Structure 1
């Protein structure tokens, strides 16, 4: 036997057909049929005779679809069997309806195994379990379930079945808006892990009361949900026969509507309608309790409008009030639904950020807030320019209590004022330095193209066997008079975020093809030039036009240009990506998958798009002479790529041992410091001339 597939069956069970059939002959409660590659019956046990009505003699030699497959399923079954035989696509186990000899339906759960016998012939065995009794029981259960569902749908209540320790076993209810978390998240969980501590304490108290008094017990509680504070009445009853608790929950918020007006005045700012200082700090305290339980982070932002006093003094308090209202509106527009923005008083605001996983998450939000305030305020026909200073503190590293976090965020805000306003300062020194560096890079990037600060470096690509230069990769470098040399790892993400990557990307394409024209003219032969495309560039509707014009202007054949993309481009799911890649292929331009092996879906993308080149990431090349696993992985990637008709480029080759091994593995091209680091255009031409 050479191979076995399907349903976790051990290969040792299928040594000879005789022993296999002897095993199935002893079983009559399960239908087992065997089929050859043409779907003809080669085995039919007693269980099959009982289930489908055909005797063994009647079934042998007949085709699967002519015996038990309903007419509407025949083509699907034939195709599925063929796909498993020829392509290895397994037929999954499933519940299906087949046909009895007398034409009636037979409900079964059908599993399948495929193996190659001792004569090198593939055979499929179907194991079918009769579901007739199960179906009847299901129909009875369905009737009772529908009756119960009808009753529940007529009631506004939520029904929970719980263990004595608060573990939720089951749930019923039609009003999904009153569920604190999705049923999939709370079934099997304890209330203590889902609800605030004070509510859990109430439930436990009344569970104990229901247990001791063997009757209904009632209490009220409130829950801060996504739609605000909701008031509930809970009724608990003890099921002694099962040692379980039934909880019936009803929304009684309407009874509190009259009290809501008083609550609004007590907890919300009358001008902006934002939570006031009292409510903001109360929410922060609640968030800290939740964070301690869930081990999450929370960020507190303290915001102060820059030069707001001048507006009040020069234009009056009425204009100042309108500025405050618009400021609150802009803050709410930028923030996520789960976050809180409140007014502390005067021109001071507070922002509470939930569910912070990384410090970078806070940085992104503060950038959006600053950008929102850089747009002019239009008040009574006047255009006012107003900026904001922001201080940030993160729980738990910058404070354990609401008061500590607010104080530290306030301190950080004054640091932002000292830095020139219109900026954000973090209470953390490291984060603050990172943020300042990012702001400086973004500031200097504006105008960098006009100042001619960007330059293309080139790294040669070599034919591994011939040791000849076949092309090069264009790599962007930036030297700024203020910040010095800035690495691509730093400035490319910022260019992506700001959209400046679009004009910069155009510059790279034009310069790379201009240089390729020079190179080919000097050497009188064809070379390829690889250029990276980032996800944001695909939003440029003129991208194809720019590429085509650059090819024509520099007299470059389309096949000499190789556009490199990473999985990030494909995973961005921009609507223009798919269409653009098809058009790139139609132009004859080569398409390369860069950094292969570092993502999760590269194989599926290789099937979807017409790639010409696959680049193995340097992280794998680095270990091929030292790590057997890396070597085997690279060997597998090369073999797979070649089977798909792709050229393979190894990045990051640094030693002659790596190059020799890549040659043995059949790699096509290589680039890396062993040959040359990326160098400017003139140095590159000198290198080519001297090589």
Structure 2
């Protein structure tokens, strides 16, 4: 005995009520594919009441271009008395839009064990299907993207690399196990900037980073790293997208150089000079001095007037190269404009040291310039101002050095003078 009386069995009404309460569409069709039963949930699914379906062929509600395929599948299953498993097809809602359905059904057998219909459950998978389509679209975009796109688990193991990322890191397409690819290769900036922000629901780092490619070369990238959190606030996984900005960086370098360097002599220009002078003055007190040497080429106008600007430019390039090779590495030499140059010198403890240095600069012009196998004698005049004795701002230091340089020119050229202390 099973310990249960017959009157303990649930009634038919109970089962009918149960069927009406479920969220899935339960139905039955006969051997002519006509509905003989449907629960009321069909109205939520297709917009028709259960009574409107009774006696009507299931194929009236199937999308037209899927009817023949579905008929063939069900007919084959009927002949074999077999069940229908996870059958996907499209039905048409009363309002005309598509409803994606997943069906599972078992055959209804007569006394001769022959299928005379089906009894089953339909599930509306429209939302899931749309999400699948959307996910596939996103995956197609990600797979086709030229950017580095990757994900990693909370332990730092890489779980996904798109083709561009694989190519960047030298990971063959066929390699499925990516755990050997340490995510620190691309999450270093996130860890550096966000280690104290992991309690946030979603931590996002955006900025510029440097990644190493498969050849060990450093590649500058513009990168976004997202820390995805689970409900308990622990990091669930990380994702990133990074774009190679090598060309942009190279262009920025060119633009920066054009902005700060003289195109003819390749020495720093006037803008770079004022920037450097401003920084020097900000970092200096009146105990730590530096010298500003205003260098002007004597009678340079004659070269331009007699030989032309082409030779004048060549002479300036030779002069700049000669001076650059004669000054100390830590000193700042620039072309102010025309035939004028500025040299900033730090670390000269006495005026005697400074005079010796200036004398060596004047001496480098004692050797004529050679252009087209001809020699041209050139000299220079130098005016010197010292911070803070001869000025505590850029303008005063420049004016005093310029003034004493012109005084030098009037009194004989080819030499140097230090600004007189007031």
- Using CA pairs below 8 Å that are at least 6 residues apart, which structure has the higher relative contact order? 2
Q: TM (normalized to structure 2)?
A: 0.42
Q: TM (normalized to structure 1)?
A: 0.27
Which protein shows a greater Rg? 2
